[in-house]
Amino acid sequence: MQVDVLAADDLKKTAPVFGQLSFDNHEQVVFCNDKDTGLKAIIGIHNTVLGPALGGTRMWNYNSEWDALNDALRLSRGMTFKSAITGLNLGGGKAVIIGDAKTQKTPELMRKFGEFVHSLSGKYITAEDVGMDTEDMDIVREVTPYVTGISESKGGAGNPSPITAYGVFMGMKAAAKHKFGSDDLDGRKILVQGIGHVGEALVEHLTNEGAIVFISDINPTRLEEVSSKYGVTIYTEDPYDAEVDIYAPCALGATINNETIHRIKAKVIAGAANNQLQDENAHGLLLQERGIVYAPDFLINAGGIINVYAELEGYGKQEIIRKTENIYNTTLEILKTAQAQSITTHHAALKIAQQRIDDRKRENLN
């Protein structure tokens, strides 16, 4: 008995990556360290069956390196399914840089990070995510071609956030159609949690459509700015208790968890944040049981990846918009499938994405 306990403990110590809950047969995980610039980054490459692993870089002050590793693993896996379901020939990858983007991000650090990306010879292609701007990607571009999301003035497709927000808006409308019978958001009460790059652009679409918008953020300056710009209400209480029709998580992931799930009063959840469900099986099921329509995050927040993919494929703005608008149809189809098969919406989306990967894998073998 004692031997078994020791063996389990030893395994935990010796299997810090393969033993992680969020490890899902990732192909490669790269730890990047540079003493001079202070860079500490983790690049997760989940799957490259459909193409190179493309996904943004997040800079965040993680509580621990374990949190950073888990974020890299979860986010890179999400990218695999996002590109697969969107019909893009891309695999899934993501990078995290440990640190405060406001105080610790320097051009030297970004260049060094770019060198690490370059060392992977195109297997991983980066872009911006939380804590990053197009300007940061321009710096990365100085040392590697394996970067997207660079400025339009430098030949890139520019900031992907407005397109991401448009895709979320499309997905939200589809979810509203499924739940309420109409995709018109005029008069609907919607809470947007996190009013950063994507959240603000989403607020603009929603107010243009006549929705009654509430905003929540940890940054009081942003709240004031966005509230006065769009005439929307700052929600000062805990956002999970809000009496709204739609909850749009646009901050960080895992906001739908054991603490929050029973409090959510919204009938629809549709937002930009990656990995909204802390436990995609248990929490997906609970939402289904509670009759809350959940628009899978990796499906409706794909506008950004569509935008940066254009840089690789060379398609223009019109095609970006067309592909992003199609999120409406795909979302509707997946919500219907989930209902017909009595499975969670997350599972329905995952099944279709996995099927595409499996089909390609079979083709590649033949």
Instruction: Give me the residues that bind ligand NAD (CB under 6 A), please.
Output: 129-130, 160-161, 164, 193-199, 216-219, 222, 250-252, 272-274, 301, 304
Min dist. Cβ of residue 193 to ligand NAD (A): 5
194 is an annotated ligand-binding site residue: yes
Active site residue 123: no
CA angle 301, 304, 310 (to 5 degrees): 140
Nearest-10 crossing angle of helices 161-180, 197-208: 50
Q: What is the CA radius of gyration of the chain?
A: 20
The 10 Å Cβ neighbour count of residue 13 is 8
Q: Which helix (DSSP H) or strand (DSSP E) does residue 93 occupy? A: strand 91-98
197 is an annotated ligand-binding site residue: yes
Q: Which listed residue (40, 82, 94, 105) is catalytic?
A: 94
346 is an annotated ligand-binding site residue: no
Tell me the residue number closest to ligand NAD, measured at CB: 196
Instruction: Report CA 180 to chain centroid distance, whole Å.
Output: 26
Q: Which residues pair with 190 in a beta bridge?
A: 213, 246
User: Which residue, 222 or 351, is less far from ligand NAD as judged by CB?
Assistant: 222
Min dist. Cβ of residue 28 to ligand NAD (A): 21
Min dist. Cβ of residue 211 to ligand NAD (A): 19
Min dist. Cβ of residue 222 to ligand NAD (A): 5
User: Which residue, 35 or 102, is less far from ligand NAD as judged by CB?
Assistant: 102
User: Which residue, 68 or 251, is less far from ligand NAD as judged by CB?
Assistant: 251
| Alpha helices, H only, the chain | 2-14, 65-86, 107-119, 134-141, 161-180, 197-208, 220-230, 282-289, 297-300, 303-313, 317-341, 345-365
The span from the CA of 317 to the CA of 328, in Å, is 18
User: Which residue, 70 or 193, is less far from ligand NAD as judged by CB?
Assistant: 193
Min dist. Cβ of residue 272 to ligand NAD (A): 4
199 is an annotated ligand-binding site residue: yes
User: Which residue, 9 or 240, is less far from ligand NAD as judged by CB?
Assistant: 240
148-185 burial, b for 16+ CB within 10 Å, e for fewer? bbbbeeeebbbbbbbbbbbbbbbbbbbbbbbbbeebeb
The span from the CA of 224 to the CA of 301, in Å, is 25
Specify binding-site residues for NAD(+): 194-199
Catalytic residues: 94
User: Annotated binding residues, as ranges?
Assistant: 194-199
